[in-house]
Structure 1
Amino acid sequence: MNLLVLAPLLVIVGVLYAAYDVLRDWLRLHRAWGSGLVAEGRCLRTYTSTRCVGEQGMDHTVRHHVYEFMTADGRGVRFAERGGPVCRIAGDFVTVYYSAGATVAATAVPPRPVRQAASTLGMLGFLGVVAVFAVFILAR
């Protein structure tokens, strides 16, 4: 297979995975915020993950928080979440928004549905432009 065919195909696969990840995160937040269920939770720990991007060695660091809370039916739930405030440390109490059911969707991010929808649509639009460009290169 020619490199001029393989490279755009890899870009398209990467774009599809990124779009899946963006939509999965949006649906998780939408379920948690839309359920109306709220509990007091606690930040158990924080950590960062760093990865090297590109050949120039630029670092990309992401902050993670691990939370725990009790659902209304008495189940203990622990979950990890990317992002969040820099000032949040282990031991802090937080408000957790969650959905009921066998698979609990939970977040400690306060509800901002318009901001989240705009962010999701912006990212999907960007990924769409990248995909169209890759298809254009592939068609040539």
Structure 2
Amino acid sequence: MEVVFYIVPSIMIAVVLVGVAAVVRKALRINQAWNGTTAEGRCLRMFTTTSGGGGDTSVSTTLHHVYEFTTRDGRAVRFEEKNGSATVLDGDITTVWYVPDRPERATAQAPARGRLMAGTGCALVFLGGFAAGLVAAMVQFSQHF
């Protein structure tokens, strides 16, 4: 029975590590796009999705945009991005940043490296603290039993 107190936190730590990898991968992808090239894009569609609201939980709304742009070699690319600017509406022209060999990983978020670093750092500190708490709980349990 004691092994459960090691297995469950270990699985949770593994999930935290997957989260860390996702946070870092997203930050690197956006930074690479900002270091790439730009194109003129058009917002084709803006929509929202909601989650939560069951029972006494709060509702969360996510804003999505679908953009289309043409790369320098003439290829039309369409991509969707979450949490974009609420001031961008259907039909608006916007600047799109992308890496020429991976244009499907484009972003319409204006470069804000400080904000990207701060957000990534906060997420990593939170996830690291959670993992450290799990390790501390496992150590505490091992000392008592």
Place the TM-score, normalised by the shorter chain, in its bin. Answer: 0.7 to 0.9
Instruction: Give % identity.
Output: 40
Partner of 1:107: 107
Give the counterpart letter for 2:57 in structure 1: G
Q: Note if 1:17 corresponds to 2:18.
A: yes
Alpha-carbon shift at residue 3 of structure 1 (Å): 5.1
Alpha-carbon shift at residue 54 of structure 1 (Å): 8.2
Alpha-carbon shift at residue 106 of structure 1 (Å): 0.8
State the SS of the aligned residue for 1:91: coil
Give the counterpart letter for 1:9 in structure 2: S
Quickly say closer, same or farther: Cα 1:99–1:45, change in 2 above 3 A: same
Root-mean-square deviation (CA, aligned residues, Å) is: 2.0
State the SS of the aligned residue for 1:63: strand
How does 1:44-83 map onto structure 2 within 5 Å? 44-52=44-52, 56-83=56-83
State the SS of the aligned residue for 1:123: helix
Of the structure 1 ranges 79-88 and 11-20, higher mean CA displacement relative to structure 2 is found in 11-20
State the SS of the aligned residue for 1:132: helix
Larger Rg: 2
Runs of 4+ in 1 over 4 A off after TM superposition: none
Of the structure 1 ranges 8-17 and 63-72, higher mean CA displacement relative to structure 2 is found in 8-17
State the SS of the aligned residue for 2:129: helix
Give the counterpart letter for 2:24 in structure 1: L
TM (norm. structure 1) is: 0.87
Alpha-carbon shift at residue 22 of structure 1 (Å): 1.1
Alpha-carbon shift at residue 120 of structure 1 (Å): 0.8
Alpha-carbon shift at residue 53 of structure 1 (Å): 7.5
Alpha-carbon shift at residue 4 of structure 1 (Å): 3.6
Quickly say closer, same or farther: Cα 1:121–1:94, change in 2 above 3 A: same
Unaligned runs of 5+ in 2: none
Unaligned runs of 5+ in 1: none
Quickly say closer, same or farther: Cα 1:130–1:70, change in 2 above 3 A: same
State the aligned residue count.
138
State the SS of the aligned residue for 1:19: helix
Quickly say closer, same or farther: Cα 1:89–1:23, change in 2 above 3 A: same
TM (norm. structure 2) is: 0.84
